């Protein structure tokens, strides 16, 4: 019971718009002997279960508006409904809707309602009217959809194949580069071999790749290159450099429309530059992945797993996903030019790189031979069939430990560690000296020193910082050369 309007009766609102009447005398209970039938309550009452037997009070009555006598001959309550039913009250159905006669629904008169009940009922009426409008709109929309024969899906204005890719996007670069990238199949005389990647180096049909991709077929084996359009060509090994891990192939019957990939200046690459790798990871040809240059001048030692010889590089590190089969493929910059040859990865488990016996996948640590170095090696291989290496004429320990590259006490096969009259000898270096810098690059091991020396050419002058008996010294060394594999 409401305490807001204690002791005052408020007549309930009929289902039709109310007609002013004289306020009846206050009474706690109705004077009629029987209660309304609860078996068939009105729609509003059913929505307000606590007062299901009461008709809702009109908002004006709940607000305490003055009441006046209705001009009705008999004075009976409720008064007759107006001549017409309001438009919002149509569709009652079975005499129990909003358009039904109040007297027909309540022959003995309603029980007076409290003011709070009137307020709640008025709100419910408004809500039902709004709901009816919403439902009408919903039905109209559904009816239109039912009559429609079109699809409710939305189509793009252009299909992906018709979209224009802006210059410099990955899609644009890949579209231009893929026709110049090949999947290489190498098979040795014993039937063993593998799959790798290469790319068109020049219009004469030379293909640049890794040595470990074709090493098994170098002596009496078979090599084939398949382009992105599916056309396959036989090839031969022109030359290979184990130390650099670079090899050059030549297509036996090259097509006339070869498009060499442009070569960038890898010395100008910066950490953070975008990268795009193309290759055949695990044999999945024409795979494109992206990343950035994660580091430069990263000392990397790798092996093809079938030889006791290792290759050394001062590599570009990238987080572009490269896996076994990407070996020899191009690492491109944001302009689509080659900045490196993908050659090795650091696998999740201990073991070798892309040429090793394991098949570990990428963990975001990939390494590429800088293209400036690869280009120099390729030129030598095409010209003479063998690589030319810059040297200092001294043997160093290959243990990868911090502190520098220590000149050995003895060279390979019992030879002298410092070649007589060689570059190191002329500069005054001796066994036991620890080389800690080459120019401005810190040297922390023998492999790091070799990789840095091989970024130069024979005849270049480099500054070497070394320690002897605890004292630091600096000396200029003119690099010598070594032809072929030792």
E strand residue ranges, 264-378: 274-279, 287-302, 311-318, 330-332, 338-345, 366-370
What is the distance in angstroms between the CA of the first residue and the CA of the last residue of the chain?
A: 107
Interatomic CA distance for residues 397 and 44, integer angstroms: 96
Phi-psi region of 136 (alpha: psi -120 to 50; beta: other; left: phi over 0): alpha
Nearest to 381 by CA among 273, 232, 483, 261: 483
Interatomic CA distance for residues 345 and 323, integer angstroms: 7
**Residue 274 C-alpha from the chain's centroid:** 14
Interatomic CA distance for residues 442 and 10, integer angstroms: 97
Q: Is 212 a catalytic residue?
A: yes
Q: How far lies 95's CA from each of 53, 135, 211, in Å? A: 17, 22, 94
Catalytic residue among 58, 206, 212, 302: 212
Nearest to 315 by CA among 345, 273, 276: 345
**Peptide bond preceding 78: is omega within 30 degrees of 0, i.e. cis?**
yes
Decide: 339 and 371 in contact? Cβ < 8 Å. Answer: yes
Q: Is 327 a catalytic residue?
A: yes
Interatomic CA distance for residues 17 and 34, integer angstroms: 25
Query: DSSP 3-state assignment of 483?
Result: strand
Which DSSP letter does residue 294 get?
E
Catalytic residue among 327, 343, 360, 395: 327
Interatomic CA distance for residues 88 and 297, integer angstroms: 82
Q: Is 68 a catalytic residue?
A: no
Angle at 123 between CA 118 and CA 124, to 5 degrees: 95
Q: How far lies 405's CA from each of 398, 400, 436, in Å? A: 8, 9, 7
Decide: 460 and 375 in contact? Cβ < 8 Å. Answer: no
Query: DSSP 3-state assignment of 128?
Result: helix
Give the position of tokens 């110049």. Answer: 180
Catalytic residue among 15, 206, 245, 303: 245
Interatomic CA distance for residues 315 and 486, integer angstroms: 22
| Active site positions, annotated | 212, 245, 327
């Amino acid at each position: 019971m409401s305490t807001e309007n204690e002791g005052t009766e408020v007549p309930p609102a009929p289902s039709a718009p109310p007609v002013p009447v004289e306020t009846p005398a206050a009474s706690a209970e109705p004077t009629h002997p029987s209660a309304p039938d609860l078996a068939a309550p009105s729609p509003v009452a059913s929505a307000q279960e606590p007062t299901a037997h009461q008709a809702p009070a009109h908002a004006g009555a709940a607000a305490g508006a003055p009441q006046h006598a209705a001009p009705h001959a008999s004075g009976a309550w409720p008064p007759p409904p107006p001549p017409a039913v309001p438009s919002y009250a149509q569709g009652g159905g079975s005499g129990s809707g909003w358009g039904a006669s109040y007297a027909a629904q309540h022959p003995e008169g309603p029980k007076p309602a409290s003011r709070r009940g009137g307020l709640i009922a008025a709100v419910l009426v408004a809500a039902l009217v709004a709901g009816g409008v919403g439902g009408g709109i919903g039905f109209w929309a559904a009816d239109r959809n039912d009559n429609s024969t079109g699809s409710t899906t939305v189509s793009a204005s252009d299909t992906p194949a018709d979209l224009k890719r802006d210059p410099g996007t990955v899609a644009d670069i890949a579209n231009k580069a893929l026709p110049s990238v090949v999947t290489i199949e190498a098979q040795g005389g014993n039937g063993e071999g593998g799959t790798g990647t290469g790319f068109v180096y020049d219009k004469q049909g030379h293909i640049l790749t890794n040595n470990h991709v074709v090493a098994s077929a170098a002596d009496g084996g078979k090599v084939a290159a398949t382009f992105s359009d599916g056309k396959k060509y036989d090839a031969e090994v022109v030359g290979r450099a184990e130390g650099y891990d670079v090899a050059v192939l030549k297509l036996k019957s090259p097509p006339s429309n070869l498009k060499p990939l442009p070569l960038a200046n890898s010395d100008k690459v910066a950490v953070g530059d975008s990268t795009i790798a193309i290759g055949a990871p695990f044999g999945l040809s024409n795979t494109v992945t992206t990343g950035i240059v994660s580091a430069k001048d990263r000392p990397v030692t790798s092996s093809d797993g079938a030889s006791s010889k290792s290759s050394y590089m001062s590599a570009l590190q990238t987080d572009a996903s490269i896996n076994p089969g990407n070996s020899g493929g191009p690492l491109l910059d944001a302009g689509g030019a080659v900045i490196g040859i993908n050659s090795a990865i650091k696998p999740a488990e201990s073991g070798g790189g892309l040429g090793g016996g394991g098949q570990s996948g990428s963990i975001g640590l990939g390494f590429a031979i800088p293209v400036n170095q690869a280009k120099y090696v390729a030129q030598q291989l095409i010209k003479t069939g063998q690589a030319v290496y810059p040297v200092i004429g001294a043997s160093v320990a290959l243990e990868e430990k911090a502190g520098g590259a220590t000149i050995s006490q003895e060279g390979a096969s019992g030879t002298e560690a410092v070649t007589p009259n060689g570059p190191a000898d002329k500069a005054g270096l001796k066994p036991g000296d620890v080389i800690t810098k080459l120019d401005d690059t810190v040297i922390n091991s023998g492999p790091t020193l070799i990789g840095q020396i091989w970024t130069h050419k024979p005849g270049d002058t480099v500054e070497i910082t070394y320690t002897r008996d605890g004292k630091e010294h600096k000396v200029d060394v003119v690099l010598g050369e070594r032809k072929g594999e030792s």
